Amino acid sequence: MTVVQIVNQQWMLENLGVDYFRNGDAIPQAETDEAWLLAGENKQPAWCYLENDKANGQKYGKLYNWYAVNDARGLAPEGWHVPTDLEWKMLSNQLGGEDFAGEKMKSSSGWNNQGNDSNSTGFTGLPGGCRGYDGDFHHVGSHGYWWSASENDESGAWVRRLDDSYPYLNRYHYHKENGFSIRCVRD
């Protein structure tokens, strides 16, 4: 596992790609829109490959719903965890704030609309898009999304987003049924 040091935090260099919880239980794969929708309706953990294509797993890792993120069996490998909203905020602040952090975190290739940036931190944020609560895939090439471990309210949790048009690391809250990437930080 490759690690990148960004100021005082150690982050995984790649998006998470596990299909088992830390205790060895399998995380269900949702290969169809219907399976994804059902997992969300039942508030059950699920993962998928971007566009349900296994080849995308090599580059982008897996997309997870928030029920996988929040499962007590532990999604992150031993010694790691899904960053909280506060840890994402600390990272952003250390890189000059939300308005400037994105340009230092985006990969230097792979983005649409000349959205490639310096990647001066080594974070190598890729535009892996997302899966909507309805099962549709969106924004491949133009946006990268990462879950936090922090809820916003009963229906949503906090997410960080990079996009091809701006140098920002934006903070949003999305429905827990959506599918986003995960980047772990060391305990």
C-alpha distances (whole Å) from 52 to each of 31, 55, 173 are: 6, 9, 24
Q: What is the pLDDT of residues 95-107, one digit of tens each?
A: 999 999 999 999 9
Q: What is the pLDDT of residues 77-122, one digit of tens each?
A: 999 999 999 999 999 999 999 999 999 999 999 999 888 888 999 9
Domain ranges of the chain: 3-186
With a cut of 80, say whether residue 1 has pLDDT above it.
no
At residue 24, the pLDDT reads 97
Contact present, 48 and 62 (Cβ < 8 Å): yes
At residue 120, the pLDDT reads 94
Strands (E), the chain: 3-6, 9-12, 47-48, 63-64, 80-81, 128-131, 137-140, 143-151, 156-163, 170-175, 185-186
Q: Give the mean model confidence (pLDDT) for residues 138-148.
A: 97
Sequence length of the chain is 187
